[in-house]
Amino acid sequence: MSLVMSVVMNHVAVISGDLRAVNANNTCQKMGGVKKIYKHNKKVVYGLTGDLSEMVILEEHINQSANAHANAQGIAKLIRKFLQSRLLFKPALQLRAHIVGVGENGKISMIELMHDDKFAPHVTIPGEQQANWSVMYSNEPAEPILAEQFQNLSEYTVQSLTDMLQSVNVSVAKVDDFVSTECETLTVLKT
């Protein structure tokens, strides 16, 4: 399992990913130091969970094919097209993606792609005083912890949102050994 969380507000997008991979066929096999979040450019970051070998192939494809100035929707389209083509060869493909950052019309966006519905894009654009978040995987539900910690924030800065995601990650990892206490975070600011 993995834990990748994204938070978007009208001025910022933050994503975090733990650093542990677990073999779905043998859950006793765990690897540390596995990167799950990536920065495409100063406008777009994304996270991947699922089949590790497919994640590596997808990351290579993005690095070779993506426009260096692509926005969130551009990266989401590239990922979706690639994953749908992979379904032809691997119908049981297990992969999810969060793409967050500056999207169309310069608005912060979160786009979720999931194998459950053949990677149909689920787009969230937060309103002026709104925050949206999403969580990919984990045995222990992170959403209630995330909601409680978000409610307790006194300010919504890059640092406070980053600290919150790291704290949620640690809380989940304490009860779910498929998630590492270590995590990475990336941010995008609306320019």
Alpha-carbon span 143 to 133, nearest angstrom: 9
pLDDT of residue 33: 81
C-alpha of 100 from chain center: 8
Euclidean distance between CA atoms 27 and 161, whole angstroms: 31
* Mean pLDDT for back-to-back runs of 10 residues, the chain (191 residues): 92 96 66 89 95 91 91 97 94 94 96 95 94 88 94 94 97 92 96 78
Distances (CA, A) of 133 to 7, 31, 130, 169: 4, 27, 10, 14
- The widest CA-to-CA distance across the chain, in whole angstroms, is 49
Domains detected in the chain:
4-189 (3.60.20.10)
Residue 47 is predicted with a pLDDT of: 97
User: What pLDDT score does 26 carry?
Assistant: 58
Report yes or no on whether pTM surpasses 0.75: yes
Residue 18: phi and psi, rounded to 5, are: -70, 175
